[in-house]
Amino acid sequence: MSRMNARQQAAWEKRKVRRQPERRLVAVEMLFFFSAFLLISLKEKVDFVGLLLAFVVPALIFVATIWMPRFFPADKLLMAIVNFLCALGVLILYSTDGDAGTSRGFQQALYYGLGLIAMLICILLVRYVRRWRVLIWIIAVGALGLIALPLAIGTEINGATNWIRIGSTSLQPSEVVKIALVLILSYFMSRRKLVPWLGFVGLCMGVLMLQKDLGTALIYYCTGLILFYVSTGNLALTGVGLLGAGGAAILGYKMFAHVKRRVAVWRNPWQYYETSGYQIAQVLMAIASGGLLGVGLGLGAPRVIPVYFTDCIFAVICEQFGVIFGILTLVMYAIIIIRGVSTAVSARRGFHALIAMGVTAMLGIQTFIIIGGVLKLIPLTGVTMPFVSYGGTSMVSCMGLIGLLQGVHSLNQDDLSYDYEISRTLAQQAGLQLADE
Amino acid sequence: MPAEIYEIVALAARFWFLFLMALIVLRSYRWYARERRQRKKRLRLLPDAGYIGEFVVLQGAGDLKEGEVLSVPFEGTLGFVRSNDLCVPVPGVATRHLWFSYDERKGLKLTALGRNDFSVDEKTIGEEPKGLCMVHGSRLYIGECELRLRMFAGYEVGMNPQRMMTADYPPQQWQQAPYPPYGQQGMPCPGMSAYAPGQPYGMNPQQPVYHQPPQPMVGYGPAMPYYPPNGYPPQVGWNQQQWQYQQNWQQAAYAQPHPPAQPMPPQWQPEPFVQPVEEEVITFHPLMEDEDWEEEAYEEENRFAAHDQQRMERYTREPQQPAPQEFYPLETGEDVWPVMPRPDEWRSEGLFDDLLDEDGTDASLPPKSAYVGRDESAWAKRRIWDKYFGGGDAP
């Protein structure tokens, strides 16, 4: 290094910046989406929206992964993976828009931008709010009011009364309440206040049961149970909770006809191909037709699958890009979960650790429920695939959850840097040098 | 683009997209693995990261011995069983006795779980049911044991110096103390530091204290800290911890009954050169009989060669006796005399190293700890390491 002249030194520094892992990863992601949107936009005639997305989506990835973390010590790897999944959702939705005449791809790109704003707000919330005592009660009351709102003014979509319509747009409050649920449960468990914790979970579950939103209820229940076990370490009571869930499932199977029908379809969808088994049969056929490498971007027949743009979007991914691509997508979800657990373990406050664990559990359970349902591992339940499925509420909710996780991670980094700085100063004073300097 | 051409291009592009996806996942995984290694390395450099201080057992009971150190995390439970964040296996301590949490303004706040009783300094939890706060130097009386809190650098809080000092020394002494004004710098913990004035704060590699008797203390009592000029409070930090542990070890070692004096071990010394007896040696040099100087040279050469040979044989026959480097510590076994890594060995212990790299070999090692013996905090750190960071060989 000492023999380099100024020009070589500058080139060396430039090369070092270029070889940073986040830049290398983001460069590949940007190349992926630029080429994919370019290909789609040239499918029949030159589509200027597609060309616009070919530049806007990579720019969003760059801004969210490289530029935003300059303001706080965020987890750039998590950011890069989440942005990739969001952009993948935009791409898939845009590729299925052509023949149908819809504009879900473009709308999803807008939701992606909204999600980034929600993520930023949640990061700031975790980083800078120190006194949660009053705020958490306000959030709890607001969340309960919001989740109960569809009972009064809600509309029924796909059998569940969990939507409210505001003007020309519709909103699913139970998705937004997910962020509040993680915050509230984490706060009360970290303060060892079991009564408000139990009361909030019970009220939410009751309202969701009244709305017949079983998928969201399952996510809430499992998240609460995991947070309870992580916080208390009480295996016996957690086992009781699991047994209670099993008992409730059996009771629901005995009592409700639609639960019975769903289980029957899950066991043999081909028997009910004409009626209730049509969706899962089409999903399985789409995955099989895609094979290992897929039928090609923009090809295939994804629109024959009912609600292909929300619940069954993983089948569309497998059909167009192949099963190998689908497996690699699952690997990315696995990395998100591992990073979330790592963030939770590294947190120094119980509240922050429980927030990170709650976010990880919620995203992991949601991913498992929808992917398992699409792959016929478990009965298919109507929840969205995080970051990928179409829907503004889902996107904002998932990005908000990631914002909570990023906030905890940034606090961990702050604490570690503080310790390191003190040790480095004292080591310098003693005439020693730390190893990584 | 015509549909047929698009289909061909899309079919070809499958491989391109699959390649890019594989590259993304591969780079993500490599990035993840690299950060994991770096994190392990950083945690090894900062074995006390995540702790705000430690409890020193001033009066032990049961399985908790006097002099043991319990590292204190930011928050958690203190109780009798090991599932607590702080395990105090002492009679009189409940299974889950109290909840503690660190507050940046108040210090370590202790709240009773149930109706359990404890006291901090002169206050009991019954007097203040909302909780008692501990600062640097506060004493916790719980069950049959007495613990004292030592907070790490950077985690001290505003405290009441008068209350602390009066708890240890009469007012006429602490009022005349040559300390910097309290509140302006980190509060020393009376009775916990033993530094001579002028002694560099932290480690002093040029003056390894384990070969030296304790430094004479000036002023009054043992509380005579040296304040670093860097603005950081003196009582904490990783290096300071190492120094403090070394001090604790040294004091504990000197508190033990001194082992009986032993004579200096036998030392090998070369035998003095003895002039061999001159003997008449008749040598025959048929070709050079007349050259006396040749004969004398030959004789002289043989004489020294024989002597060298004798020396070498003697040297190899006799057992090797290592030259004693220092009289202290006596080689009486590690269990009798605790071994503390000296600062010049810290490099080989992995505490400091310029050559640490991201090759994974160093990252697989567990964090080294300079704790002496099998203390509780080392055990707790070991468990955390084994449980969450992959474990490894025993440090």
pLDDT in tens, B330-362: 444 444 444 454 545 544 444 444 444 333 344
Q: Does A21 contact B30 at a Cβ distance shorter than 8 Å? A: yes
Residues of chain B in contact with residue A422, where contact means CB-CB under 8 angstroms, are: 153-154, 232, 236-238
Contact A433 B352 (CB under 8 A): yes
Which candidate, A281, A288, A372, A370, places its Cα nearest to that of A322? A288
**pLDDT (tens digit, 9 = 90+) per residue, A98-157?**
766 778 888 999 999 999 999 999 999 998 888 888 999 999 999 999 999 888 887 777
Domain B51-151 has CATH 3.40.50.300: no
**Does the pLDDT of residue B382 top 80, yes or no?**
no
The ipTM of this complex is: 0.89
Shortest CA distance from B29: residue in chain A? A335
Q: CB–CB of A436 and B239 under 8 A?
A: no
CA distance A421 to chain B (A): 9
Q: Please answer yes or no on whether B202 and A434 come within 8 Å at the CB atom.
A: no
A144 three-state secondary structure: helix
pLDDT tens-place string over residues A41-93: 888 888 888 899 999 999 999 998 988 888 888 888 999 999 999 999 999 99
Query: Cα torsion at B164, B176, B237, B248 (round to 10°)?
Result: -80
* Residue B391: pLDDT over 70: no
Contacts of B11 in chain A (CB under 8 A): 296
Whether B230 has its CB under 8 Å from any CB of chain A: the answer is yes
Q: Which chain A residues touch B30 with a CB distance below 8 Å?
A: 21
Does the distance separating the beta carbons of A84 and B228 come in below 8 Å?
no
Cβ <8 Å between A422 and B25: no
> What is the pLDDT at residue B191?
36
What pLDDT is attached to residue B157? 66
CB B358 within 8 A of CB B37: yes
Q: Does the pLDDT of residue B197 top 80, yes or no?
A: no
* Residue B321 pLDDT class (50, 70, 90 cuts): low
pTM above 0.90, yes or no: no
Angle between the A392-429 and A104-128 helix axes, to the nearest 10 degrees? 40
In the predicted model, residues of chain A with pLDDT beneath 70 are: 1-3, 18, 99-100, 158-159, 426-437
Phi, psi for A235 (deg, rounded to 5): -70, -35
Q: Where are the domains of chain B?
A: 51-151, 161-236, 260-318
Q: B111 and chain A: CB distance < 8 Å anywhere? A: no
Q: Average pLDDT, whole number, for chain A?
A: 87
Backbone phi and psi for residue A53, each to the nearest 5 degrees, phi listed first:
-65, -30
Q: Does B294 touch chain A (CB under 8 A)?
A: no
| Cβ-nearest to A293 among B18, B28, B30 | B18
Percent of chain B exceeding pLDDT 90 equals: 6
Best of A297, A423, A424, A425 to disrupt the B interface (most B CBs within 10 Å) is: A423
Q: Domain ranges in chain A? A: 8-429
3-class secondary structure per residue, chain B: CCHHHHHHHHHHHHHHHHHHHHHHHHHHHHHHHHHHHHHHHHHHHCCCCCEEEEEEEEECECCECCCCEEEEECEEEEECCCCCCEECCCCCCCCCCEEEEEECCCEEEEEECCCCCCEECCEECCCCCCCEEECCCCEEEECCEEEEEEECCCCCCCCCHHHHHHHHCCHHHHHCCCCCCECCECCCCCCCCCCCCCCCCCCCCCCCHHHCCCCCCCCCCCCCCCCCCCCCCCCCCHHHHHHHHHHHHHHHHHHCCCCCCCCCCCCCCCCCCCCCCCCCCCCCCCCCCCCHHHHHHHHHHHHHHHHHHHHHHHHHHCCCCCCCCCCCCCCCCCCCCCCCCCHHHHHHHCCCCCCCCCCCCCCCCCCCCCCCCCCHHHHHHHHHHHHHCCCCCCC
